Structure 1
């Protein structure tokens, strides 16, 4: 059985993008990027909303390129090898290997996917992760808190989701980013 993990890089005030949709303040340095790669390495399947997929599909073009920083080359390989399920009503073709499109996020199908998985799964995109959190599907949360406040924008955690968490791990990086790893308690 696989765990469903939500990971996000957020501002200190809890946003993944500011009011203009920018997230350039969240670009990880080499130390944080290498750490994120290690978090992502056990992921066998990514569950993504269309907007996050639009951002992440650049990693398909990075795969196999020469001259990239080591951390980028490593992540491109991690991304390339994983299965990707994109939840979208507007995409009809995935445009990349190991990728399929689903029109709706169905909690029961995710429960089956978790039960049958031999690797962990990741849910990405704040709206999709919010649906998974509200449905009680998320097992762990990783937040990488950037030392910046953006004052508003797209929240990393949804309104209306209520659950108890257990702090499993924390780490501080040289650039001021703090990683918080929580387990979701089953009530």
Structure 2
């Protein structure tokens, strides 16, 4: 397939300003760097953070994914870089799809990994749909994973930095989801 317009850094044959990308912002450094880098490249960035915990209890938490202070940090980054940022209340969904399932599985003798469940049942299901509803061309995350195009489409590969690789968290990501996802940090050889 011939492209008259060269592909931008996210793989689209259009200018970054004409490419809307939703960035899943946990409030941590990695997703903030992704949002900042894409905004600096001129992309139409929209930040989204999922509130996964009770807001009152979460305000004191730092470092847990999508906790209170981290939501504030994500909002501050978006304000400083002048792109919209939305916080979606997913507390009930998270509790049912991840926490309750974790407890039941653990009591049954399994050793589930909550981050994998959250990625497959919340982040890469509902959040992807929200990005599509916002007419985004793709969704980017701060995961250290490489997305490469193979003979049958997008493929998930380990990060260039083996010490930061997070591909094991996303082993259940579908081909359809990979077509839509971008991982701008996966090619970095060190953090």
Q: Which has the higher strand share?
A: 1
Question: Would the TM-score normalized by the shorter structure come out above 0.5?
Answer: no
Q: TM-score when scaled to structure 1?
A: 0.38
Considering only CA atoms, is the larger Rg found in Structure 1 or Structure 2?
2
Q: TM-score when scaled to structure 2?
A: 0.37
Taking CA–CA contacts closer than 8 Å with sequence separation of 6 or more, which of the two structures ends up with the larger relative contact order? Answer: 1
Q: Which has the higher helix share?
A: 2
